[in-house]
Structure 1
Amino acid sequence: MVLMRAVRVGVGVVVAAGAVVGCGSTAGPGGGTAAASASGSAGPCGVAPTAAPAGWVREPVRIVAVSADCLEYEVTNRGSEPADVAVLFGWSGSGGRLSVDPSVTQRALAPGASVRGRVQLTGGPVEPDRPVGGVPTGPVRPDPLVSVAPSSSGPSGAARPAPGVKVVRVRSVPTAEAPSEGGACPASGVRVYADRGDAAMGLRVVGLHLENCGTGDLVLDGFPQVEVLDEAHAAVPGVRTLEGGSAIATGTGADAPASRFTVPPGGRARSSLVWRNTNDASSDPVNAPYARVRATPGAAPVMVTPELDLGTTGKLGVGAWVPVGP
């Protein structure tokens, strides 16, 4: 079976006429947040509208202002523990169109903290974030989708129109369970993360990747433990996790039998999540963005975001861990 690479499709809102000037960031009086619905006066990325356009707010994120050059947003951690919050922006379907959907991730946002960040819409990098109200936070880190094609200049001296944008998707995971693809080795000594996956005719395959970045050997024996979670990080009832990708479909690369092997320091292993997006009238379809993964029983949990659209099948196949060669 040949699997096709899944493609993310852009989505985005028209800003108030007169959105001009460059990209900056300011706090409200006393270090508080300047509301997007405040006065309509010139803001850091153009003119703040008197009322937030449709799509500018998707909890816990809101767009503050947009110009032809940049987008300013604010994200708030309303939870009780530090969180990594990933935000995808996109085109609203009207007004000027974005050529690429920009996305950003705020790392280790403290409980109750709010922070503003900016996305350059002229090919520049995302600026470091600035805490709102003096609460220190980690940096806003761009992902590969952050840069977009430079806007064309209008007539001499004329303002270029701002694109229509909106908040498309927000995903948040506890920082203590965030997946790790690089940087400092987690306290567990093991990195676990998911890739972007493949899709073909309703069949989905997302890879789980493991790296032993610690100093001792890691023994794997069988399958990772996987729990399917909804947007509130609660377990989704009725979903069956089945051993082996062949429980869903053959030819996915997740058909290897379980085996016991050792992953030395620097070594790697992989597994896969396999499911079908098939729907019938038997029940409501299941859409669960998150999965909590434990490499072995008792291992530290890692929350990945495979965007599980299980349809009405209620089944998720989990491939056995297999070693990855050097």
Structure 2
Amino acid sequence: MRPAPVLALCAALAGTALLTGCGKETAAGAAPAATCASLAPVPDPAGRTWDDVRVVSGKCGPSGAPSTGFEVTNHDDEPLTYTITFTLVNGFGEAMDSVTRTVEAVKPGQTVRRPLDTAGGPGSARGYRARVTKVRSVPAKGASGGADSCPSSGVRITNDRGDAAMGLRVVGIHLVNCSGADYRLDGYPALRLLDADREPVTGVDILHGTAAISTGIGGDPTPRPVTLRPGESAYANLAWRNTTTDGTPVNAPYVEVTARPGDEPVTVTPELDLGTTGRLGVSPWTRTPDDRQPRPDQRPGASQE
């Protein structure tokens, strides 16, 4: 197994980790607006650990004010982009909110510290404990990129949250041409399923088409060439059933998506809970309907006047 990432929350009060806001997250690689000074371990309450995650106390707010932040240390041998989900709970232990933070391109051996804001912003009177509830890390070179950035490949690939009903799961893989040139697709994306340690998942058949999973998804379009102009997008659906019978359920939180032969794979996190069915259906690339395409003023190079 690959070494787990080390993430740490720096709390204002030992054992309480009250969130009172501490400035905005900075761009990847830039120094954060506030630091977490005087770090010290605190007791390890349930729900605030993730593998090697440890809770520390410090001053993370503006001008060293007590507040809460988080820290990521990359123990892998390549740059990683982290997505961390925190659950905010009140003094009674009730979950009040969930926030997600992304830290891009953390170098091997590097520790990156970020403040963690509440919805009320810096100085908010709202106070919640922060718990780390999910950590996902993908190779930085294969990360999908943020909504305001465009990877060197010229396309941005993401997954949606999907739909679930009666054990049937459907998740969309979305590709946006964020370059300044046309981008051509043809057929099906190539997929590689990865477990929580980003190791290959075996024993799952990847089917071209979703009809074998369910006929109620709407049918598969016929594979055909799709040419995307700058700013246009396409999608492919992943479909499976999470039925569990005999055997060990298979979970694949990560999927490497290769949009077309010769492209570099991009790692997304659709969180596949495949049960024991051993099958995953994928539909061909299909142009996104015009009513869901980005507006002209959202396309690369469009006038912002």
* Short-chain TM bin: 0.7 to 0.9
| 1:303 aligns with one of 264, 267, 270 | 267
2:110 counterpart of 1:113 = yes
For the 8 Å contact 2:19–2:68, the answer to whether it is kept is: no
Cα 1:266–1:20 change in 2 (3 A) is closer
2:55 counterpart of 1:55 = no
Cα 1:296–1:253 change in 2 (3 A) is farther
Greater CA drift, 77-86 or 216-225: 216-225
Q: CA deviation at 1:73?
A: 2.1
2:90 counterpart of 1:90 = no
Q: CA RMSD in A?
A: 3.0
Which residues in structure 2 correspond to 1:48-197 (within 5 Å)? 49=42, 51-59=43-51, 61-65=53-57, 70-90=67-87, 95-121=92-118, 123-124=120-121, 151=126, 163-180=128-145, 182-197=147-162
User: In structure 1, what residue type is equivalent to 2:56?
Assistant: V
State the match for 2:27 in structure 1: none
| 1:26 aligns with one of 25, 36, 42 | 36
Cα 1:97–1:239 change in 2 (3 A) is same
CA distance in 2, matches of 1:221, 1:292: 18
State the match for 2:31 in structure 1: none
> Which deviations, in whole Å up to 9, do the C-alpha atoms of 1:147-181 show, x marking residues without a partner?
xx963xxxxxxxxxx64542111000111111135
CA distance in 2, matches of 1:167, 1:184: 26
CA distance in 2, matches of 1:219, 1:81: 30
For the 8 Å contact 1:277–1:313, the answer to whether it is kept is: yes
User: In structure 2, what residue type is equivalent to 1:210?
Assistant: L
For the 8 Å contact 2:14–2:57, the answer to whether it is kept is: no
Among all aligned residue pairs of Structure 1 and Structure 2, give the percentage whose two residues are the same amino acid.
43
> Which deviations, in whole Å up to 9, do the C-alpha atoms of 1:293-317 show, x marking residues without a partner?
0111121111000000000011111
| 1:216 aligns with one of 161, 167, 181 | 181
CA distance in 2, matches of 1:261, 1:20: 50
Which residues in structure 2 correspond to 1:185-264 (within 5 Å)? 185-253=150-218, 255-264=220-229
State the match for 2:236 in structure 1: 271
User: In structure 2, what residue type is equivalent to 1:216?
Assistant: A
CA distance in 1, matches of 2:146, 2:221: 24
Greater CA drift, 304-313 or 109-118: 109-118
User: In structure 2, what residue type is equivalent to 1:177?
Assistant: G
Give the match's secondary structure for 2:75: coil
For the 8 Å contact 1:223–1:321, the answer to whether it is kept is: yes
For the 8 Å contact 2:171–2:237, the answer to whether it is kept is: yes
Q: CA deviation at 1:97?
A: 2.7
Give the match's secondary structure for 1:251: helix
For the 8 Å contact 1:242–1:315, the answer to whether it is kept is: yes
> Which deviations, in whole Å up to 9, do the C-alpha atoms of 1:20-77 show, x marking residues without a partner?
796564345xxxxx23x2xxxxxxxxxxx3x22233221454443499x953222111
> Which deviations, in whole Å up to 9, do the C-alpha atoms of 1:5-32 show, x marking residues without a partner?
xxxxxxxxxx85777796564345xxxx
Give the match's secondary structure for 2:47: coil
* Structure 2 unaligned regions, length at least 5: 1-12, 23-33, 60-65, 291-305
With the length of structure 1 as denominator, give the TM-score of the two structures.
0.71
CA distance in 1, matches of 2:175, 2:160: 11
User: How many corresponding residue pairs?
Assistant: 261
CA distance in 2, matches of 1:186, 1:106: 16
With the length of structure 2 as denominator, give the TM-score of the two structures.
0.76
Q: CA deviation at 1:85?
A: 0.6
Give the match's secondary structure for 1:57: coil
Give the match's secondary structure for 1:176: helix
